[in-house]
Amino acid sequence: MAIMRRSGPWPRTMGARLFLILLTGLVIAQGLSLSLLFFERYTAAKGVMYNTLENEVATSIAILDRLPADERADWLARLDRGAYRFVLGPGLPGVPDTSERGAEIAAKIRQAIDPRFPLTFDAIPSDGERLQAHLTLSDGNPLTIDVSPRPIMPVAQWLPYVLVAQLILLVLCSWFAVRQAIRPLEDLAHAADALDPNKNAPRLSETGPSEVAYAATAFNAMRDRIAHYLEERVQILAAISHDLQTPITRMKLRAEFAEDSVEKDKLLQDLTEIERLVHEGIAYARSAHGNAEKSTRVDIGSFMESLVYDYQDTGKAVTITGDIKAVIETRPHALRRIFTNLIDNALKFGGSADVHLEKDAKGAVVISVLDRGPGIPEEQLEAVLQPFFRLEQSRNRGTGGTGLGLAIAQQLTLAIGASLKLSNREGGGLSAEISIG
């Protein structure tokens, strides 16, 4: 069995990978769009602010320069714009401003003011960014422009909540899109995992997008072809086995009329062996279509006791343990054939069989056929359920194994909706466990 290897933090499932790729792409695209929008708004707001500063400062200085000195104080409140204000006098002592934004503001003010008003700029130490421009009016009085730049584009308080809401929406949409894309693949995987041409399981839905519908149609067609091929093989096996019975019977009759000899006994023994193999072949072919029998309600405890007592009446070492009260709906003839094959197998290789009945934690009926025979090598526990597979020690004529007993039991178990599990017991022997329900 191939071992799945996982390297690094990359998710293992396709759904998680698609979700991560899609979400990352959407988040990056959203981030780029938001960055471009902010850059464009920042550039536009910056241009508007500087143009407004340039025009209004030039106008305000022209007004103050033309006003009489005693009326200028009355105009200061009118010319106040929040981001800057005018102060009569030399202003506050400061230090040379070396910031990029300070240089931009100084350049705009220099462009706006008449060259006849020389300007000097200082940065005023404060909690925030503050800049003062000093000049002298025409009458020799000093004037200071006190600039406290506001954020070019302030962030609204509701903006973080909108960004979080957008992120949640992206996650939900990405998850929904991935689920829509992965669900048909999961359905196809489940259908392939549960594929059993012998069961009348529902067909895969052929609705949805064209690619999904096409894949479902192809899967259903493949399932039909497999079922057809299997049915053909079973029919061929049944036909050959049935047709062989007539010549075998004729050969046995002719051998009976032959003179008594060792060779006659060996020939009759071989013909009997061939006849039994043919009967097993027919039984296997019929077991492949075990759903032909009608289901009925069966008291499983009484059913198994009756089967075990039949063996005991013929002197076979078969015992039953466990007592459960359960009524199940099953096909009784198929169920009897299953346990007959398992008990016969236990008697053949172990000399005795113990049938144990119990219920598991989920309430399913579990019936085990136990023996103390040689068991089966662990690597061949699955292989012995295949038709015509025999262990090396059972290939001689003395055992009489045909390789179909366990295969028929497995086939009928699947047909009645149960499961068969083989395992080796501690201390030697084999356990054949049938779980029903």
- pLDDT single digits (tens) 227-250: 777 777 777 767 777 777 778 788
Question: Do the Cβ atoms of 168 and 128 come closer than 8 Å?
Answer: no
Question: Do the Cβ atoms of 351 and 431 come closer than 8 Å?
Answer: no
Structure tokens at 414: 């699947």
In the chain, the amino acid numbered 110 is R
Residues 6+ apart with CB under 8 A from 27: 167, 170
Nearest to 105 by CA among 69, 67, 132, 86: 132
- pLDDT single digits (tens) 264-307: 788 888 787 777 777 776 666 666 654 556 888 999 989 999 99
pLDDT for 422: 92
Of 18 and 153, the structure prediction assigns the larger pLDDT to 18
The confidence band for 155, taking pLDDT boundaries of 50, 70 and 90, is: low
CA–CA gap between residue 137 and residue 89 (Å, rounded): 11
In the chain, the amino acid numbered 401 is G
The confidence band for 423, taking pLDDT boundaries of 50, 70 and 90, is: very high
177 by DSSP, 3-state: which?
A: helix
Give yes or no for residue 315 having a pLDDT over 70: yes
The whole-number average pLDDT for the span 39-43 is 79
Question: Do the Cβ atoms of 331 and 290 come closer than 8 Å?
Answer: yes
Give yes or no for residue 12 having a pLDDT over 70: yes
Give yes or no for residue 402 having a pLDDT over 70: no
| Highest averaged pLDDT of the listed ranges 84-93, 264-273, 363-372 | 363-372
Q: Considering just the CA atoms, what is the radius of gyration of the chain in Å? A: 47
Give yes or no for residue 369 having a pLDDT over 90: yes
The pTM score is 0.48
pLDDT for 400: 47
Burial class (CB in 10 A: 0-12, 13-18, 19+), 396: exposed
Of 8 and 61, the structure prediction assigns the larger pLDDT to 61
396-399 contacts, C-beta under 8 A, 24 or more apart: 397/269, 397/273, 399/348, 399/349
The per-residue DSSP string of 119-166 comes to -EEEEPPSSS--EEEEEE-TTS-EEEEEE-PPPSSPPPTTHHHHHHHH
Q: 155-164, 212-221, 366-375: lowest mean pLDDT where?
A: 155-164
For residue 262, the Cα-to-chain-centroid distance in whole angstroms is 67
Of 126 and 128, the structure prediction assigns the larger pLDDT to 126
Conformation bin of residue 133: beta by default, left when phi > 0, alpha when psi is -120 to 50: beta
pLDDT for 213: 81
Nearest to 48 by CA among 96, 108, 125: 108
Strand duo 353-359 + 327-330: pairing: unpaired
φ, ψ for residue 267, nearest 5 deg: -65, -45
pLDDT for 347: 92
Of 41 and 382, the structure prediction assigns the larger pLDDT to 382
Structure tokens at 210: 């064209």
Mean pLDDT of the chain: 80
The per-residue DSSP string of 240-272 comes to HHHHHHHHHHHHHHHHHTSPP-HHHHHHHHHHH
Give yes or no for residue 308 having a pLDDT over 90: yes
Nearest to 334 by CA among 409, 279, 387: 409
| Highest averaged pLDDT of the listed ranges 120-124, 176-180, 240-244, 300-304 | 300-304
Domains for the chain: give ranges and CATH numbers: 15-147 (3.30.450.300), 293-436 (3.30.565.10)
Give yes or no for residue 121 having a pLDDT over 70: yes
